[in-house]
Structure 1
Amino acid sequence: MVVLRLDDEFGEKSVSVLLDGEESELIFIDHPSTEMSIENCLSTYEPHACAVVYSVVAKTSFIRAGELLAYLAREQFTVERTVVLVGNKADLARARQVSTNEGKALATSKDCKFIETSSGIQHNVDELLVGILKQIRLKESRDKKQAKKSGKQDAKPSKLASSRTHISLSIARELLQKICINDISKSKSCENLHVL
């Protein structure tokens, strides 16, 4: 279930989303880049997620989306928070300038999710909203597990924990997990908004 409320005075849109029997309110803050830079927007609002939207019928908007994603990746936002690349106006097939594969490739290269929508005919809009909420919840759950795990490790400090060998082993373990894709959800498509 999705319910949308608009507050044009502040450029905010409030959306109620029902996911797994729990209702949440998502507040979308939309400032044109001429009014507020992405840097200022992130520091002012500290959002849980970013939806970077481009038009599939305007190559220049896709290029700008790539620049925004590059900034978010440099700032580690794509690792710490939810970022979804959204190709809008997917219903305008004859005027398309950006292919679906280009959108997927950009999303994959910047470690974010991807979906194509059409707000004009409401294609994939509900899926996008539910997917953003699901991604936020998944990342919060992951962070809680990591904090709990690190709390347990810190509870029993050993002589090995501060040694160079232990640090080297920790780094090696992290690299192997990345290389071997230890977490099956990491191997999922950038289009699946229900896994990290």
Structure 2
Amino acid sequence: MTLNTEREGKATLRRRASTPIPSSHQPGPRDRELPVDSHHPPLGQSASYQPGDKSIHSLANWSSGSEESDSSGAECLYRVVLLGDHGVGKSSLANIFAGIQEKDAHNYIEEDTYERTLTVDGEETTLIVMDTWATEKQEEDENWVQDYCMQVGNAYVIVYSITERSSFESASELRIQLRRLRQAENIPIILVGNKSDLVRCREVAVEEGRACAVVFDCKFIETSASLHHNVHELFEGIVRQIRLRRDSKEANERRRSIYKRKESVTKKARRFLDRLVAKNNKKMARKVRSKSCHDLAVL
């Protein structure tokens, strides 16, 4: 599986220089309240996207390697919001998703929203990745924009740096805020420990990240944006997590069978033994749950 960063023909990546906030709800001097329900689109829709809109395109497909095609033919589009402290690597992750080379990143400083189509388990899904949290944070309407970000996502990626414990604590606070604001919704949330290549500067252990994910009932993965380590797996995992909550059990079982065919025999054996032991051992069941928090292909 490789990330295609070449720009071919007429297919261009849609980049949006600002958060797609409905124009009718730009805050005025006396209007700082966010309409919670009226402009919160259902799962699978964007505020700037209307059903039947054929104008959405992307630079290239990001394929998981499966050749099975989506028989439904329906286009799926979801917002993924990046949250986290300044400097933890949110923009670097977004640039890798968008196919922007590091040497060209300075040309896209004003960009904060990227759209791309991924092919995961043989089906296409379009993600709009919003890197607006830190960009808008210094502006006058900080609280309004942050509330908007908290309410429009179909999935959330909370990023911290493994070299900064304070960013890890902030990530925990963000998870609490999401639970309070979106507690009735079954939305995917992935806790990401970035900069895993900086081993000597590590302040947050892998075990701490996993324990936090188990406590807050979300998924966990460590990445290195500088080495592109686990970044593909992160965004494909987001797609799988959305589908697990959106689609029928039968559809997910079919996708799961495709995913399992790619697993090694050793990994399959370990998964089977973990389940077998966990049935009769509560402590082991908790340990298995801790392990499963970093498996982005299961709930």
TM-score (norm 1): 0.70
The answer on whether the counterparts of 2:150 and 2:181 sit within 8 Å (CA) in structure 1 is no
Higher strand share: 1
CA distance in 1 between partners of 2:187 and 2:154 (Å)? 6
Unaligned runs of 5+ in 2: 6-12, 19-111, 252-281, 283-287
Render the CA deviation track for 1:87-137: whole Å, top value 9, x for unaligned.
000011001111111111111111000000001000000100110000000
Query: 2:118 is matched with which residue?
Result: 17
Q: Evaluate the alpha carbon distance shift between residue 57 and residue 112 of structure 1 in structure 2; reply closer, same or farther with a 3 A threshold.
A: same
**Equivalent of 2:158, from 45, 52, 68?**
52
Higher helix share: 1
**1:168-179 equivalence runs, <5 A:** none
Query: 2:28 is matched with which residue?
Result: none
Percentage of identical aligned residues: 39
In the TM superposition, residue 26 of structure 1 has moved relative to its aligned partner by 0.9
The answer on whether the counterparts of 1:72 and 1:78 sit within 8 Å (CA) in structure 2 is no
CA distance in 2 between partners of 1:96 and 1:114 (Å)? 17
Q: Evaluate the alpha carbon distance shift between residue 80 and residue 142 of structure 1 in structure 2; reply closer, same or farther with a 3 A threshold.
A: farther
CA distance in 2 between partners of 1:74 and 1:127 (Å)? 28
SS in 2 for 1:81: coil
Q: Evaluate the alpha carbon distance shift between residue 78 and residue 54 of structure 1 in structure 2; reply closer, same or farther with a 3 A threshold.
A: farther
The answer on whether the counterparts of 1:56 and 1:88 sit within 8 Å (CA) in structure 2 is yes
Query: 2:178 is matched with which residue?
Result: 72
User: Root-mean-square deviation (CA), in Å?
Assistant: 2.8
**Equivalent of 1:93, from 183, 190, 199?**
199
Q: Aligned residue pairs: how many?
A: 155
CA distance in 1 between partners of 2:170 and 2:250 (Å)? 34
SS in 2 for 1:71: helix
Query: 1:192 is matched with which residue?
Result: 295
The answer on whether the counterparts of 1:51 and 1:85 sit within 8 Å (CA) in structure 2 is yes
TM-score (norm 2): 0.47
Render the CA deviation track for 1:40-59: whole Å, top value 9, x for unaligned.
2133xx22100000111111
CA distance in 1 between partners of 2:249 and 2:131 (Å)? 27
Unaligned runs of 5+ in 1: 146-179, 181-185
